[in-house]
Structure 1
């Protein structure tokens, strides 16, 4: 599936989308960095004030997996379906992925979605992301896109499964559980997550 290698224009467009998302989040009064006043490379608790405020956390694997999924979507659209002509994959694969991730970062930080996270997911203490965390999440997604570009599909799938399993075991959450609980909350999952001693 190695046909979505972005050209220079795609990289610049992707950076522009990221800057636009940062400006929108700042306009939404999201804090630029953690209100604790410092930046950490890793924050390992999911239900305290530092969650989703730093560069990486237990939800970073989810964003890497987003990149893998968006790569597959771009490949399906631009390579398999041939949307946009022969050079569309190079021009639009990465920008489409960055746009989707940036749109999610903006939506995720609206009061409606923050309240939804707090009410039905393991993130009962969630208060939204810092702008730094959102920008880092876009970067982690791009890293997942790059992995999918470079690795054989079986290794990409294996890494995605490992990321989900590790997060599920350690913090009883992850991309799959988040999607399930956001869209179709299941009491048994909520009870299992609430019984966790992590956070």
Structure 2
């Protein structure tokens, strides 16, 4: 599998994601009319290019790299990358369905969550790709340290991170929800 094929496949995957998200009536940009680099906590979160949850998608890249190394290390790296890209893309599409958006609203601290803008979804997919490529180059100890840091920073800053997000989606806890709300 050549580098050109991998780049072309990545572009096609992103184009398919954009097309599906458009068909789902996701807004291409923030409905506020702005395109910013950072969406802080609040109505612009998940609408701008990046936000606190971009760190979670970067971590996805580390996790996908590690999992695919464990279960498919004989596969060419480019193929493992494309598998990770497909899984992340599928998640971005699923994450923006009414079912998942409603689940976030009822079970997590994301009370006013309305889904991602398309630019944010594409950025999330690319953040996973960057995480995957970083994991490929870094020693295991550095990867673990980065993942821990990227979990700790948003935990302290916004009382949320990938671990809590998954936990609250799968097994919501009133105690965690109250803590996240600052109670």
TM-score (norm 2): 0.95
> What residue is the counterpart of 1:38 in the other structure?
34
Once residues 20 and 69 of structure 1 are traced to their aligned partners in structure 2, the CA distance between those partners, rounded to angstroms, is: 24
Q: Does 1:111 align with 2:105?
A: no
> What residue is the counterpart of 1:49 in the other structure?
43
> What residue is the counterpart of 1:11 in the other structure?
7
> What residue is the counterpart of 1:64 in the other structure?
58
8 Å CA contact retained: 1:117, 1:182? yes
Following superposition, the deviation at residue 90 of structure 1 comes to 3.1
Residue-pair matches, total: 183
> What residue is the counterpart of 1:24 in the other structure?
20
Q: Does 1:155 align with 2:155?
A: no
Once residues 8 and 140 of structure 2 are traced to their aligned partners in structure 1, the CA distance between those partners, rounded to angstroms, is: 27
Following superposition, the deviation at residue 77 of structure 1 comes to 2.8
RMSD across aligned positions (CA): 1.5
Question: Which residue among 64, 69, 74 is the counterpart of 1:75?
Answer: 69
Gaps spanning 5+ residues in structure 2: where? Answer: none
Tell me which stretches of 4 or more aligned residues in structure 1 moved more than 4 Å: none
TM-score (norm 1): 0.88
Question: For 1:109-134, what per-residue CA distance to the aligned partner results, in whole angstroms no more than 9, with x for missing partners?
Answer: 00010000011111111000000000
Question: Which residue among 127, 131, 155 is the counterpart of 1:144?
Answer: 131
Once residues 93 and 29 of structure 2 are traced to their aligned partners in structure 1, the CA distance between those partners, rounded to angstroms, is: 16
> What residue is the counterpart of 1:93 in the other structure?
80
Following superposition, the deviation at residue 16 of structure 1 comes to 1.2
Once residues 154 and 10 of structure 1 are traced to their aligned partners in structure 2, the CA distance between those partners, rounded to angstroms, is: 28
